Structure 1
Amino acid sequence: MNNQPKIDITKPRFALLLDAIAIITFAALLIYLFSQYGSLPDRVPGHYNGAGKVDRWGSKVELFFLPIIGAALWIFMFVMEKFPHTYNYLNLTEKNAEAQYRNGMLMMNVLKNEMILLFCFITYQNMQVASGNAEGLGTGFMPIFLGLIFATISVFMVRMVRL
């Protein structure tokens, strides 16, 4: 890692667009959460099983946990995105370093924004379940979420090998 070149790379427009979508969605979720908080019951879903059914109920204060964790994760990954020279690469050379760094930065960007959107969805769904408008996350939630994350990582790993 010490001998990996440090190259100043500008963030691609696509990454900026993803950041904007994630930030707007997160802000909208917070506005919705604060506006609906008083009308929510005292008990809200605290955890779901693998089938997407509620298996623990908790205090409605817990609705703030996921947005806080999501924001902290997003900020951490935002900072990490700025240091692609610290990532591990399979085939990094002086010749392909810039392309590899762009790929690594974009992967970090896509993953961080997928994560914050996931936390937004779960928080929104917790509110819907608590209000009686939904029964859980649904049986397809876990496979879809895991499939999305693994597909994202796979796409960028394939790109890394090809570069």
Structure 2
Amino acid sequence: MFRLPYNKFQKAVEIITLVLILCQIVYCAVFYPQLPSKIPTHFNFAGEIDGWGGKSSILVLLAATIGLYIMLTVTLFFPRLWNVPVKITDQNRGVVFKYVINMVLWDKLLIVGCFFYMTYCSVSSVAMGWWFTPFLLISVLGVTFYYTIKLFLIR
């Protein structure tokens, strides 16, 4: 296990992600006392509210956000366990690590941002909109496919 050094861009993406998590925590803390006893807990594919639960369910969303962030962050500490489509050599190690770190950082940012939006929609009792699920899938999978293709093209 070792810590890979971040470049300035990677540090910026990590900081933005952490700020979003802090904003979600503050948002939940500020609005929790004012929440009604039942809040939206599930949205269908069209983004419409189709499930309700107790107000403490907002804490589950917050815990899921933090849990996903931690799990994705921990993966960066174990580069030897990464499953990449190319053999890592001394010549390509820097580029492979850069691509994988960028992919994980972008995915963390997108996931945390989407979970913050889900929290906002639950607290505000508003529909997420039809565009949310396609955006989440296309953005996270798009980042993953983009960096996977870049890894395949390494020579």
1:97 corresponding residue in structure 2: 93
CA deviations on 1:8-28 (whole Å, 9 max, x unpaired) are 631122121111111112112
Alignment of 1:49-88 (within 5 A): 49-88=44-83
The verdict on how the C-alpha distance between 1:77 and 1:88 changes in structure 2, with shifts beyond 3 A counting, is same
Computed over aligned residues only, the root mean square deviation of the Cα atoms, in angstroms, reads 1.7
- Identify the residue that residue 41 of structure 2 maps to in structure 1: 46
* SS of residue matched to 2:52: strand
Q: TM-score, normalised by structure 2?
A: 0.91
| Cα distance in structure 2, aligned partners of 1:33 and 1:145 | 22
1:44 alignment partner, SS class: strand
Per-residue deviation, residues 44-86 of structure 1 (Å, max 9, x unmatched) = 0011111111111000000010110110111111111122221
Q: Distance in 2 between matches of 1:9 and 1:34?
A: 34
Length-normalised TM-score, structure 1: 0.87
Change (3 A) 1:7 1:80: closer
1:70-149 correspondence to structure 2 within 5 Å:
70-94=65-89, 95-129=91-125, 134=126, 136-149=127-140
Measured after TM superposition, the shift of residue 149 of structure 1 is 0.9
- Give the superposition deviation at 1:7: 8.2
Q: Secondary structure at the match of 1:55?
A: strand
Work out whether residues 43 and 57 of structure 1, in 8 Å CA contact, stay in contact via their aligned partners in 2: yes
Q: Which runs of 4+ in 1 moved over 3 A?
A: 6-9
The amino acid that maps onto 1:128 is S
Q: Indicate if the aligned counterparts of 2:17 and 2:108 stay in contact, CA closer than 8 A.
A: no
Aligned-residue sequence identity (percent) comes to 21
> Over residues 68-117 of structure 1, what are the superposed CA-to-partner deviations in whole Å (9 max), with x where a residue is unaligned?
01101111111111222211122224121221122112211211222112
Shift in alpha-carbon separation, 1:87–1:57, aligned structure 2, 3 A: same
**What code does the residue aligned with 1:45 have?**
P
